Amino acid sequence: MLVYRITLNQYSQTLKASGLAARWNPNEVMMIYTSASRSLTCLENVVHRGKIGLTHLFRIMTIEIPETVLIKKINSAELNENWKNYDQLNFTQNLGKNWIDSGETAVLQVPSSVIEEEVNYLINPKHPDFNFIKLIKTDLFIFDNRIKL
């Protein structure tokens, strides 16, 4: 399976987690965020950046997760009704941290908070199966200048 990640150019040559807090992880919990499609990874970036932030040099990473790597899934039905709200960040971060701490799988499938019917894939870089997940290529990615006019 191929998944995608858009990142600043300087971070695009290796699969590395920043450890900065986000929807599914608190600070210092390493997790790599990817999406099931290029378009979803674009939207996931757009909602977190201002117009000027979209003008930096970005690359889109194509990452291969082999079929042999197990994936745990969290479905929307398992989440609070308002899980996407900012005040629920602690809830989703705890779910992600618990998954990392369990060491159960190298990949966690979660619903997108931007388009709930689509999915993101979170990757645990400390899991033994992470060694099987490969960065296939990186390509230049330019956000269309009509985004966030």
For the stretch 82-119, pLDDT in tens is 999 999 999 999 999 999 999 999 999 999 999 989 99
E strand or H helix at 58, and its extent?
strand 58-64
What pLDDT score was predicted for residue 56? 83
Tokens of 130: 């992470």
CA atoms of 43 and 128, how far apart (whole Å): 30
Domain chopping of the chain, boundaries: 2-141
Q: Which residues of 73-93 are buried (b: 16+ CB within 10 A; e: fewer)?
A: ebeeeebeeebbeeebbeebb
What pLDDT score was predicted for residue 57? 87
What pLDDT score was predicted for residue 58? 92
pLDDT band at 149 (very low <50, low <70, confident <90, very high): low
